[in-house]
Amino acid sequence: DAKTTQPPSMDCAEGRAANLPCNHSTISGNEYVYWYRQIHSQGPQYIIHGLKNNETNEMASLIITEDRKSSTLILPHATLRDTAVYYCIVSRVNSGYSTLTFGKGTMLLVSP
Amino acid sequence: DAGVTQSPTHLIKTRGQHVTLRCSPISGHKSVSWYQQVLGQGPQFIFQYYEKEERGRGNFPDRFSARQFPNYSSELNVNALLLGDSALYLCASSLGDPTGTPYEQYFGPGTRLTVT
């Protein structure tokens, strides 16, 4: 499995950009990086995914380094509702199925 | 659009009993996965189904079983419940074949199971 390393916690002021880093130095060439978040006691919410190019959607932007060994999730204008645990996952495709291996993630606290 | 729905929301069972949890995927999605999330940890993969066939199984005992129906809904069954089975059980649905990439999974709100 390509493992990921994330800081355990981060703080961000409301209205500012939140930049969440992730290291995945053992990622394989055909493995995607996925980001999910989980607000307390709710199901994980899909945010974004990428392979090698930077990606942007209505929720966030994903910046992947050229060597693909790390990435950064950017929430451009964090709100209090963005307080959650953010998971960076390199999805493993096994023989016939695909799993998400969740680590401990980063607890992002957005403050007023 | 309706997302993934799960029932029941909460459930309390006694050790030794069995439980059935249900999941309805997003309309049009043909793949369902089940995860277990114990308090304080990230979700762990249990099963994955695609087109009514089991495609993968995580490291869980045979007390855990599942199936997917022709309408793509799914059930997770757990027999001989143990205290350690207390967890949030999450269902995720996906549009296509799990071997396709990318493979986005959309989670439901979960069923909170408490075993006493």
What value does the mean pLDDT take over residues B17-29?
Answer: 97
Nearest CA in chain A to B49: A97
Q: Which of A77, A76, A22, A26 is nearest to A49 (CA)?
A: A22
Q: What is the pLDDT of residue A97?
A: 84
Chain A interface includes B42 (CB < 8 A) = yes
Tens-digit pLDDT profile for residues B45-98: 999 999 999 999 999 999 999 999 999 999 999 999 999 999 999 999 999 888
How does residue A1 score in pLDDT terms, banded at 50, 70 and 90?
low
Contact list, A51 vs chain B (CB under 8 Å): 102
Instruction: Please indicate whether, in this complex, the C-beta atoms of A46 and B105 are within 8 angstroms of each other.
Output: yes
> Can you tell me whether residue B50 is helix, strand or coil?
strand
Burial class (CB in 10 A: 0-12, 13-18, 19+), B94: buried
pLDDT score for A2 = 64
Of B35, B48, B90, the CB nearest to A97: B48
Q: Percentage of chain B surpassing pLDDT 70? A: 99
Tokens linked to A67:
């060597």
Which of residues 56 through 85 in chain A touch B, CB cutoff 8 A? Answer: none
B106 DSSP 8-state letter: E
**How far lies B90's CA from each of A6, B21, B24, B74, in Å?**
23, 10, 12, 12
Q: Which two tokens stand for residue A42?
A: 């709710």
Yes or no, beta carbons of A32 and B108 under 8 Å apart: no
How many CB atoms lie under 10 A from the CB of residue B85? 22
Q: What is the pLDDT of residue B1?
A: 62
Say how many Å lie between the first and final Cα of chain B, rounded.
Answer: 37
Instruction: Give residue-wise pLDDT tens across range A29-47.
Output: 888 999 999 998 899 999 9
- Residue B114 CA: distances (Å) to CA of A30, B71, B79: 39, 29, 14
Task: Supply the mean pLDDT for chain B.
Answer: 95
Measure the CA–CA gap between A15 and B101, rounded to whole angstroms.
34
